[in-house]
Structures are given as C-alpha cells and as structure tokens.
A and B are shown apart, each in its own frame.
Chain A
C-alpha cells in the first residue's frame, strides 16, 4: 500500500481573537490531515471554527500558534503559492454588483493570473457547470441568492484548482441547485481534485463526503474516513444491516434471530433490517448464500448520527 498523500496538514493550530475581555479561542489546537482526491467534510455548528480554519489555510488570517501546510506550502510564508492553486468559496463574500457575471469572472480570473485566451475558454465552461450560462451578460445586482452562490462556485472553479475550499457552499441554493452541486463535486473528485466542504448542514450535503473532521468549539472532536469513524460508533451503538429478499423469508428470519449478538430483526417490504451488538457480516454472508438474498448491505451511520455520537449530544 502506498503512502497517503495529504493536501492539507495542520498541527496544533490555535487562533485567538483578542478583545477587551481577554480573547476568544476560535481554534484550540486543531490538527487535521486531508488526503488527496477525497471529498472532505468540515462539519460543525456555527462558531465551531470552520471558517477561521479555512481563512488560515489560504492566508486571509494568521494563526496565533501552530502550523499549517496546504499542497506542501506553508500557510504563513507561502500563502501566495497556495492561492495560485486553491479555489476558495468564502462564507461571507460579495460580487461587484454593477458588473456582469462575465466581468466579475474576468476580473477575478485576471487576478488569478489567467491569460485572456484561457479566460475566454474557462468563463463559459464554468458558467455552464453551475447553470448560469444564460446569465453571462447579466449584472450581478439582479441575481437571486441562489444565483450568486452559483456564481461564487464558478469563481472558485475558474482556475481549475487542485484543491477546492468551500465554506457553506449550499447556503441559499434551492434543492435543484444542491443536487447540481453534489454531482459537480463528485465529478471533480473523479477528476482527481480534492474538495473540502465546510458546512453545518450535514443532512443536506454531508453524505457526499467520504472523510471528515468533526469540529466543536474550536476543537476537532473526530477525524477520519466514514468507515474509520463509524467503527467506534458501531462498537458502541451496534451494527445495522439491510437484506433484500424475494419473499418466503420466514425461515431466514428465524435463523437471523438465532445468530449470537443480534438485537433486532424486522421485515418490511421484502427488506429485512438487522441490528447486532457485534460485527455479524461473516454470518450474514453465509446466510445470503444459503437463502435467496438479493442484496446484503452493512449500513453506515449518517454524519449526523456520527456527529451526535462523538460530541455526545446535539449541536450545542
């Protein structure tokens, strides 16, 4: 197995905002590693430090202590190199309202260092990707929140970055827009890009992420792939499976109830749901061969469930 290549590595990152009362620790010893070529979620409620972390990664803010590297570059000393290769969709952004979508992208693209010919090719491409091709010459002033969010995504994609940092990217998007966004992100990952999505809307886009860092009050409370994080959850809460059968499952149901560690078995619309206190994947595979089982799926907990499990409660 080859070495895992990380595009983002932070080590004990601390950010303190000084104020009259002494200071607020927005980041409190954050150590995160984001593997290359994954859809990585930065999950946590508002105020958990997600935006601060992203701002530090691109050099918009400086850490109080600790270190951070993006694509091998130091976030403090080499942030200009990082910004050449990273596409950012910040949380609180705005466009030049009296300029058209195209003019905004031209200006930002030139600042990215893209030559005119490249811009002529890329602007229609990215506008088509986000579904704004017909609005190329419309002034941004007349854009809805959702359209502005699509344009913000377009500007992040403009330089065809190796790494995308998206802060609350689905905020303001309608369901159609959210679906478009998810498909687009999956496509980008297939092309070898790394996408980091910061969001508090786990139920909306969390499930597209294969890896995540769960944050709370400036700290990372869990970090890893869905499978890695689900392991501890399953050990504590049990394992769930779904078996799709083609009728006549009475015998199978009886046998399932007899498997050691099984705590629940239920049948609904030719789907048997099984919960167990231990991993019974091996036994189920044997039964699947014996009976006419169409599919056997070990269920993974949702990011929502994982978050609540790791932080021991709700958002707060």
Chain B
C-alpha cells in the first residue's frame, strides 16, 4: 500500500541530498548555532569572570542558545522543504507526468511527508552534532553524558516544530499555482508567529495590566541580588500568563516551552528535573504542535485530492 509513497520518498531524499540547497541549509545552521552559542560565552563565564551559576546552569544557558537557534532553523527547514512540494511540481509540469501514473494522490503527499521527516531529522541531528561539540569546546564547558543526551533529545521537539511549519508550507504549496506564492505565504506565517505574535501578546498584556509598578531603589540590595518586590512579581506573573495564553497558538512558542522542559532544573538546585515529570507538564505544547501537523496535513490531503490539475 505504501509502496508508491516510498518510491516518491526515496526520490525526494536522493534529490535533496544531491542538492546544494539542502547542504547550504545545514551549513547555515551550523554557522548560526556556533555564532549564537559563542555569543553567550560572556554570559556563561559571567560578568568580569564571575560565574552566574553551577555547572547545570551553565549548560542551561548553552542549551538556551541552542533552542534559540533552533526556533529559527527548524521552521525555515520545514518551509524550505514544504513550499515547493506540490507547487514546484505543478510549476515545472512534472506533476502531470507523475499523476499520469497509477498512483493515488495521497501516496504522493505521503511520500513527500516521509522524505521531509527524514531530511528534517537528518539536518537537525547533523547540524547539532557538528555545532554543539564545537560550541562546547569553544566555551570550555564541562559537560556530562546526561547533558549531551538532553541536548540530543532536542532533535525531537525541533522535528515537531519543523514538521509543523512543513505542514503549513505544504498546505500553501497545495493551494498555490506557483512555488514563490507558497514561499511568501509560509514566510509571512513564520514571521507572524516568531516576531509579530510576541509583540501583539506583550501589547495586549500591557493594555490589560497597565504599566508595571515602580520599584523603589534600594542601594543595599542592588538588582539581581535579592527578591523583587511582591507587587512586581505578581505583575509579571499575570503578564506572563496573558502572553503565554496568546502565544498558545504559536508553534515557535510551544517549541521553546517544550525544549526548555528538557533542561528544567530542580528548584534552588543545580540538578535536572526528572525528564518524564518535566515533559508531562508540557503536554499542551506537544498537543499544539501535533495539532498543527495533523490539521494542515489533512487539509493538504483534502485540497490536493479535490484539486484538478488543469494545466
């Protein structure tokens, strides 16, 4: 049943592995990883050589940079693989030769999806495997096997994020007559979720809560060395709640939240929380990302099955 889908997947994988574009994306990822992790070097070592925390906290800061890099890398990878999936075939006319074969249309989409999943995992795993040791060496961070394992596990939420954007781009591709149109729509959605939605969320929170309360200056307890006033903590708790609620629809925000669970530390301690417990609290993130993938894939199937290839 899946035979035709696997034929499509094999061809897609082979074609991408031979393309300059795919390897350029991986090269770009490694550069972005290394640059962003290197930039945190100062923070890791602390201001003026003063360390900001223990070993796990240092790894946490490193992982934050990796996660930050992945919030850009993974969606762009998903979009790069998805925007041309159908629209480019339509544009080049290859779709007419393919659909003239005894192949069901869902086999074509399934094949492309399988190929995309393989290529996404490969690209993220490869670039992480190349960049993280390099960044660790550059920052001279003492990492344990568990640290590496947790960093390696980042491939999973990153793949979910990439697939969510792949599904969005695929949906645009199925609907578009030209791949450039699908690319523009996909990028607009990425820009919205990554840059515009956080601004909207902050704006809405600010409109609801008003300006934050003033902090009385205390020369004996400078900022960063003591507890913030309770009134201020409450304000920011409400602020974060509103921002999080609005950003619930953002795949990028869900990924950040899910990825951070991998490096959650026990309160006041320099050791990781148990992985299953930390992840169990983030089930909503997994659900939202999975919903994106499922909804846009199903929508793509429906549109593609109903659409007639007129030209």
Contacts and interface: CB of A to CB of B under 8 A. Distances in A.
A108 B101 contact: yes
A112 B102 CA distance: 6
Interface residues of B, number: 23
B311 A92 contact: yes
Interface stretch (B11-19, B39-47, B69-77): B11-19
Interface in B88-115: 92-94, 96-104
A264 interface: no
A152 B96 CA distance: 11
A55 interface: yes
Given A111-B4, A113-B102, A93 B309 contact: no
A94 interface: yes
B94 A60 contact: no
B99 A92 contact: no
Contacts of A52: 310
Interface stretch (A83-91, A130-138, A197-205, A239-247): A83-91
A92 B93 contact: yes
A74 to B, nearest CB: 15
Interface stretch (A4-12, A95-103, A187-195): A95-103
B169 to A, nearest CB: 20
A55 B11 contact: no
B308 interface: yes
A83 B310 contact: no
A163 to B, nearest CB: 12
A299 interface: no
B304 to A, nearest CB: 13
Given A108-B98, A110-B7, A60 B308 contact: yes
B93 to A, nearest CB: 3
Contact of B102 (A61, A80, A94): A80
Nearest to A79: B102
Given A83-B100, A83-B102, A98-B19, A61 B94 contact: no
Contacts, number: 70
B84 to A, nearest CB: 12
A84 B104 CA distance: 12
Contact of B97 (A90, A99, A113): A90
Contacts of B92: 94-97
A52 B8 CA distance: 27
A94 B94 contact: yes
Contacts of B93: 90, 92-94
Contact of A17 (B8, B102, B103, B310): B310
A67 interface: no
A80 B99 contact: no
B102 A55 contact: no
A58 interface: yes
Contacts of B94: 93-96
A95 B96 CA distance: 10
A93 B92 CA distance: 7
Contact of B100 (A58, A61, A98): A58
Contacts of B103: 83, 111
B97 A95 contact: yes
Given A90-B96, A98-B19, A107-B7, A62 B102 contact: no
B309 A108 contact: no
A208 to B, nearest CB: 23
B142 to A, nearest CB: 46
A300 B96 CA distance: 37
A80 B104 contact: yes
A17 B311 CA distance: 12
A155 interface: yes
B18 A98 contact: yes
B124 to A, nearest CB: 24
Contacts of B104: 80
A83 to B, nearest CB: 4
Contacts of A60: 96, 99-100, 308-309
A138 B8 CA distance: 22
A83 B96 CA distance: 12
B310 A108 contact: no
Contact of A93 (B4, B15, B96, B101): B96
Nearest to A112: B101
B12 to A, nearest CB: 10
A16 to B, nearest CB: 12
B11 A107 contact: yes
A108 B101 CA distance: 7
B44 to A, nearest CB: 43
> Which of A61, A84, A92, A155 has the most C-beta atoms of chain B within 10 angstroms of its own C-beta?
A92
A61 B308 contact: yes
> Which of B11, B103, B309, B311 has the most C-beta atoms of chain A within 10 angstroms of its own C-beta?
B11
Contacts of A152: 97
A62 B309 CA distance: 10
A168 to B, nearest CB: 13
A111 B97 CA distance: 10
A98 B15 contact: yes
Contacts of B98: 108, 111
Contacts of A58: 100
Interface in B1-27: 4, 7-8, 11, 15, 18-19
Interface of A: 17, 52, 55, 58, 60-62, 80-81, 83-84, 88, 90, 92-99, 107-108, 110-113, 152, 155
12 contacts: A83-B101, A88-B100, A90-B97, A92-B93, A93-B93, A94-B96, A95-B92, A96-B15, A96-B94, A98-B19, A107-B11, A108-B97
